Structure 1
């Protein structure tokens, strides 16, 4: 595959991901736990098919191979997926996708604390810059009554950071079986939460179809496109190409739902994106690359190419 084709695939992945906030807004009466359940149900068949094709039919062998690292990473994805869905419902789409971009910085800090990974001075500066941008954005959410949505978006970023760090801890070269476990755990968590809340798993058929299609096409389809494209595109450039999602996600809801962006989101988001760009060109981006199938800075196979690390 040529570099150009790989870059096109990554951009297409970002376009697919950028539609998720809009899709969730189009089914406002469906609770976040029901969306989590049915989106995960749509995601799993596509993932299993891909894993089976890659492993030549040995799906369960691939899933068992991830061990406890994959289990812990899958649990992190439950937090990531549920937080992201709630964030799209409770705060602006622009706020949500921008706050998701904190994932690689959370991964850098967790990797330093839990795994003893080194963090460069430039990365620490980028983390501080990102923190300032987040404070500006969250402060705007407090004033606008969307604090719970902002907290959910940050929790989602933390969940994907946990996923990333557990994969590093387990030295897993293939993330997709762990993602599949995350889908299974998300279905279980969604069903339990719905039972506790006294709500039915079965929702109107059109909403089931929309949620499942979102999981199969926009989430997993984008993830697979990104994974293929990242084989020929360097990690730093892939991260920057995926910023197309952050640009397009607010555009869709503005065009179709007339959702505007606050000044705090614009200022804080610009600072946060500057930190992402700075980190991507810091020379050691692969050490702190985050994993966020709903936001910028996703996991790629190059996450495991930690130059200078044992």
Structure 2
């Protein structure tokens, strides 16, 4: 397929983004007892300047018209990202990284259901089967989480997945071809909401210098740079293949915390995660097989 960057380079960029995002759980673990809203605040401060500079570059030095053109869909989608970002951080802090990221993987299925309900987009029969099978995997993981006292973490992970799904649906509804303005708005809103919550609770913004550095790196390096190269690569790779390549994030995230922090996960978590990921991969593969008769998007 024709592309300004080429198919193979596009694949490498998408996988590279997934690898960067997979380090998020390890980074949050390394921040010790930093709170969810503190992490979200400083991570957002790292994210926003990077995305603004990327938009500045891609817009030929005119970022504000590009951001304003995104309009209400970007604002609504950015609000969804606040729930997605905060839920993800809370989930990783209160349950195992493996459990959290496996539940995050349900995002494409939630997106399909939301698109069917809100946008009247058709859902392939194979996707409905995937949703049912994936539901079994989610049930196994949530039940396991309740058993080990991580029920709130599991619910937060599902809330995060719902937030990302809502973000995706909003982009489709607004027919936005570039997600970066919406993510930028989401980063600004996240910083504002986090600051408001910290202030309302009478908590401190103070963290150790090391924790602040990690949070800023998460925003600028892992999330911001990851978003930039993902959006560049996704222009050259079919959507169904992006879904499969992005699974590298889910597979690698538990590996990093196991290698560096010796954090494992229960058999139930891996069993449920295997069922969920298997269902999603099978759905993506059937989508690739039928992509000549089923129009994308």
What band does the TM-score fall into relative to the shorter chain? Answer: over 0.9
1:258 matched to 2:257? The reply is no
Among 106, 123, 141, the residue aligned to 2:110: 106
In structure 1, C-alpha distance between the alignment counterparts of 2:133 and 2:84, rounded to whole Å: 23
Q: What is the match of residue 174 of structure 1?
A: 178
1:157 matched to 2:158? The reply is no
1:136 matched to 2:140? The reply is yes
In structure 2, C-alpha distance between the alignment counterparts of 1:229 and 1:67, rounded to whole Å: 24
Among 2, 9, 13, the residue aligned to 1:5: 9
**Distance 1:44-1:269 versus aligned 2 partners, 3 A rule:** same
Residues 201-250 of structure 1, C-alpha deviations (whole Å, 9 max, x = no match) = 23232221110111100111112222222222222222212222222111
Among 19, 24, 30, the residue aligned to 1:26: 30
Q: Give yes or no for contact 1:5–1:229 (8 Å, CA) kept in 2.
A: yes
* Stretch moving more, 194-203 or 247-256: 194-203
Residues 47-103 of structure 1, C-alpha deviations (whole Å, 9 max, x = no match) = 000101111122111111111111110000000000000111000000111100111
**Distance 1:281-1:264 versus aligned 2 partners, 3 A rule:** same
- Could you list the runs of 5+ residues in structure 2 that have no partner in the other structure? none
How far the C-alpha of 1:308 sits from its partner, in A, is: 4.3
1:155-304 equivalences under 5 Å are 155-283=159-287
* Stretch moving more, 42-51 or 273-282: 273-282
- Could you list the runs of 5+ residues in structure 1 that have no partner in the other structure? 288-305
Moved over 6 A (4+): 284-287
Residues 89-131 of structure 1, C-alpha deviations (whole Å, 9 max, x = no match) = 0000001111001111111111111111111111111111111
Q: What is the match of residue 70 of structure 1?
A: 74
In structure 1, C-alpha distance between the alignment counterparts of 2:273 and 2:290, rounded to whole Å: 23
Q: Give yes or no for contact 2:25–2:97 (8 Å, CA) kept in 1.
A: yes
TM-score by length of 2: 0.94
In structure 1, C-alpha distance between the alignment counterparts of 2:29 and 2:229, rounded to whole Å: 24
Q: Give yes or no for contact 2:29–2:93 (8 Å, CA) kept in 1.
A: yes
In structure 2, C-alpha distance between the alignment counterparts of 1:22 and 1:107, rounded to whole Å: 27
Tell me the SS of whatever aligns to 2:287.
coil
Q: What is the match of residue 95 of structure 1?
A: 99
Q: Give yes or no for contact 1:279–1:285 (8 Å, CA) kept in 2.
A: no
How far the C-alpha of 1:282 sits from its partner, in A, is: 3.0
**Distance 1:51-1:12 versus aligned 2 partners, 3 A rule:** same
* Stretch moving more, 246-255 or 133-142: 246-255
